[in-house]
């Protein structure tokens, strides 16, 4: 009883935060308040002074539009930290932005951070240490597909199979979940960013047109699809002609963009099919009844659920608000830490930070 009271007191003095530290976007959930931040994982850095000029939405607006000494960078690649110091600064920015306490005894927050399935011990330690250095009091790690399943309100602690496909910016996570654990999982370093790269490459090869990452992403969101649409969609693609060096605008259709992304989409679908083939029969029977759940920004790609349904013969559905499913799940764990403690990643084996 006293132990629970003490935990509540500590929680009051220092806020609890869940962070979806994504390759493309970061989302922050505060216990008792819900989602309070949803910004791009981009940091603008002055290379001459080492000073951070902007983080999040403001920094993303600078991508491709800065002087040579100012670089807009993404400190996470393929779901893992590629620049420790910049990631720490970004985390500190998020933690300070959501902190409302003016109490003299204010403690740092307890933080749950989502990580891709199958990351190395070194990569786990990097996330844990960066969060502690940024001001976190205690840090817990949760695998992204597990968090997404909880965010979709699936009964992950029961003895039934749940199939989750979480498609973020850097990784696609495919997981079979039962009894509060991941029974089978596959992690693919092909996701939203790779689809953007496919569109950039397509524009160069087909039209000798050089376009930026932001333009590619806008086109993907605007007319991108994994399965033929009922109505044809078109959009303008603006860039620089690599032959003449002059600006040029061309029209592309949903079919063009689907063709550009086809190989990467096929790899995602094949990974899902491999997981289905390797699922234990009893769990597969459950999944045939409950279906496959898609989460993450990539779940919004038009027709992806239809394509996976056709390829696997299992009903596939997009979870509600797939962009925030992972952080909502981590938030639910925060709200019920005693009951859901078993779904967290073991971190006792990681070396303590120096």
Q: Where are the alpha helices (DSSP H) in 54-158?
A: 57-60, 84-98, 121-133, 144-151
Count, in order, helices (H) and strands (E) of the chain. Answer: 12, 18
Residue-wise pLDDT tens digits, 10-56: 444 457 999 998 888 889 999 988 899 898 888 888 888 878 888 88
- Please, how many CA atoms are within 13 Å of residue 259, restricted to the half-sphere of its CB? 9
d(CA 315, CA 292): 6
Sheet containing strand 52-55, strands side by side: 52-55, 43-46, 70-73
Does residue 103 register a pLDDT over 50?
no
- All domains of the chain, ordered by start, with CATH? 2-147+325-343 (3.30.420.40), 162-190+266-322 (3.30.420.40), 192-261 (3.90.640.10)
Among candidates 315, 340, 295, 269, which has minimal Cα distance to 149? 295
- In contact, 41 and 74? CB cutoff 8 Å: yes
pLDDT at residue 292 in the model: 96
Give the separation between CA 305 and CA 263, rounded to whole angstroms.
17
Q: What is the pTM of this model?
A: 0.86
Would strands 110-115 and 234-241 be described as parallel, antiparallel, or unpaired? Answer: unpaired
Check: CB of residue 140 under 8 Å from CB of residue 110: yes
Which pLDDT belongs to residue 128?
A: 92
Under 8 Å between Cβ of 70 and 44:
yes
Q: Which of 236, 234, 245, 235 is nearest to 210 (CA)?
A: 245
> Can you read off the two tokens belonging to residue 47?
């290379």
Q: Which residue has the tokens 């009922």?
A: 230
Q: Classify residue 107 by its DSSP letter.
A: P
**Average pLDDT across the chain, whole number:** 87
Beta-carbon contacts of 98 under 8 Å, excluding residues fewer than 6 positions away, are 15, 17, 28, 30, 36, 37
Going by their DSSP bridges, the two strands 172-178 and 162-167 should be labelled as antiparallel
209-213: list long-range contacts, CB under 8 Å, 24+ apart.
209/237, 209/239, 209/240, 209/241, 209/242, 209/248, 209/250, 210/239, 210/240, 210/241, 210/242, 211/237, 211/238, 211/239, 212/63, 212/64, 212/239, 213/63, 213/64
Q: What is the pLDDT of residues 218-233, one digit of tens each?
A: 999 999 999 999 999 9
Is the pLDDT at 102 greater than 80? The verdict is no
The position carrying tokens 């199939």 is 163
| Mean per-residue pLDDT, 71-77 | 84
For residues 169 and 352, which has the higher predicted lDDT (pLDDT)? 169
Residues 6+ apart with CB under 8 A from 83: 73, 75
Neighbouring CB atoms inside 10 A of 218's CB total: 17
Tokens standing for residue 8? 């509540």
Highest-pLDDT range among 136-140, 154-158, 220-224, 347-351: 220-224
Residue pair 80/119 in contact by the 8 Å Cβ criterion: yes
pLDDT band at 106 (very low <50, low <70, confident <90, very high): low
Q: Look at residue 2 in the predicted model and tell me its pLDDT.
A: 36
Q: How far apart are CA 198 and CA 18, in angstroms?
A: 32
């Amino acid at each position: 009883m006293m132990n629970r009271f003490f935990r509540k007191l500590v929680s009051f003095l220092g806020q609890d935060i869940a962070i979806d530290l994504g390759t493309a976007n970061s989302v922050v959930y505060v216990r008792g308040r819900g989602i309070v931040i949803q910004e791009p994982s981009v940091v603008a850095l002055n290379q001459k002074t080492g000073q951070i000029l902007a983080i999040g939405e403001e920094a993303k607006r600078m991508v491709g539009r800065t002087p040579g000494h100012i670089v807009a960078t993404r400190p996470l690649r393929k779901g893992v930290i590629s620049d420790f110091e910049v990631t720490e600064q970004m985390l500190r920015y998020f933690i300070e932005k959501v902190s409302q306490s003016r109490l003299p005894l204010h403690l740092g927050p307890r933080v749950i951070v989502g990580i891709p399935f199958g990351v190395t011990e070194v990569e786990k330690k990097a996330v844990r240490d960066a969060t502690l250095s940024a001001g976190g009091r205690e840090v817990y790690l949760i695998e992204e597909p597990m968090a997404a399943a909880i965010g979709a309100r699936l009964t992950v602690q029961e003895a039934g199979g749940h199939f989750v496909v979480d498609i973020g910016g850097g990784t696609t996570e495919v997981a079979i979940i039962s009894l509060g654990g991941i029974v089978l999982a596959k992690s693919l370093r092909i996701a939203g960013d790779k689809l953007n790269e496919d569109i950039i490459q397509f524009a160069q090869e087909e039209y000798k047109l050089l376009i930026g990452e932001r333009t590619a992403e806008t086109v993907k969101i605007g007319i991108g699809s994994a399965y033929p649409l009922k109505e044809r969609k078109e959009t303008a693609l603006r860039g620089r002609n690599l032959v003449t060096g002059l600006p040029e605008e061309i029209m592309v259709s949903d079919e063009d963009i689907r063709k550009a992304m086809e190989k990467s989409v096929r790899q995602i679908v094949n990974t899902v099919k491999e997981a289905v083939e390797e699922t234990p029969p009893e769990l597969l029977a459950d999944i045939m009844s409950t279906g496959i759940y898609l989460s993450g920004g990539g779940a919004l790609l038009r027709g992806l659920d239809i394509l996976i349904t056709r390829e696997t013969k299992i009903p596939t559905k997009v979870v509600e608000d797939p962009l925030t499913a992972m952080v909502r799940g981590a938030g639910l764990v925060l709200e019920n830490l005693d009951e859901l403690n078993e779904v967290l990643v073991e971190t006792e084996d990681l070396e303590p930070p120096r």
